[in-house]
Amino acid sequence: MTASVRRAVRLEHRLTQPNASLAELDAAVAMAVEHDLAALTVSPWLVKVAKRQLGRSRVTLGTVIGYPHGGHLLSVKAFEASKALEQGATQIDFVLNGGALSSGDDETVFNDMLAVVDMAHSALAAAGVIIEAEPMSEELVRRACRLAERAGADHVVTSPGAATARGTVARTKVLRDSVGPRIGVKACGRFRSVEQLTEAVAAGATRVSLQLTPTLARQASEAAQPASSAR
C-alpha cells in the first residue's frame, strides 16, 4: 500500500456477524486501538460495551441499522438508530429499503433514508446508506445512490459485507461514479490481502470495511509506515 493510497483511505473493522461475542469484542477493540483504525463497527447490542472499552480512543464507533435486509418499517429503523446513538455510536450505517426501491417507490426509500440521516446528524454522528447491491441492477444502484445523496448521507456502502473482494471493487466503481465528491464510498466486503485493499482504494473507496484479521491489520499497518514517516 503506497503512501498516496494510505492517505486516501482508512480501515474499518466490522464485528456484525450474528453470533459476535463479548470475547470477540475485546479482541476487536484491542486491534482497532493498536492499529489506529478509522472505525470499529459492531452489532447494536455491543455498542454500549464497545463505547466503554474504547474510552478516549480516536476510533469511531459505528453500528448497523435495519441489518441485514433493510425491510424494517421507518419507525423501527429510527428507534433503533436513536438507541444506538444514546449508547455512544458516532456512525450509523443502515440498509436501504430495497423492496420499495425495486417497486419504484422512491418516496418511501427517501423518507426512510432521511429519518435516519437526520437523527444521526442531530447527534453529530455520521450516516451511511448500505446499498444491498447483489440482487439489484446497476440502474437501481445508481438511483439508490442519488436518493442517498439527496437525503444528506455522508457516505454510501457497497453491501452489508458478504460480497467478495472482486465484487466489492466492481460495486465501488459504480457507487463512486454515482455520487458527487461530497459523498464518501465505503467498500465493504471479504478482503483477504493488502493488494485487495489497494484495489478498492483505486476504485474510489474512501474507507474499506471488513472483518480484519490480526495478520492483515499488521500487514496494513506495516505497509503504511512509509506514509507516516513521510509526513
Cα–Cα dist 162/122, whole Å: 30
Range of the domain at 160: 3-230
* Interstrand relation of 126-130 and 155-157 (parallel, antiparallel or unpaired): parallel
> Average pLDDT over the chain, rounded to whole?
92
pLDDT at 134: 67
The more confident residue out of 133 and 221 is 221
CATH number of the CATH domain containing 158? 3.20.20.70
Quote the cell numbers at residue 145. 445512490
pLDDT at 230: 39
Q: How many CB atoms are closer than 10 A to CB 207?
A: 22
Cα–Cα dist 70/56, whole Å: 32
* The Cα angle at residue 101 between residues 96 and 105, in degrees rounded to 5: 120
pLDDT at 171: 95
Cα–Cα dist 47/35, whole Å: 20
The number of distinct structural domains making up the chain is: 1
Could you read off the pLDDT of 44-96 as tens digits, one per residue? 999 999 999 999 999 999 999 999 889 999 999 999 999 999 999 999 999 99
pLDDT at 35: 93
Could you read off the pLDDT of 159-173 as tens digits, one per residue? 999 999 999 999 999
Q: How many CB atoms are closer than 10 A to CB 225?
A: 12
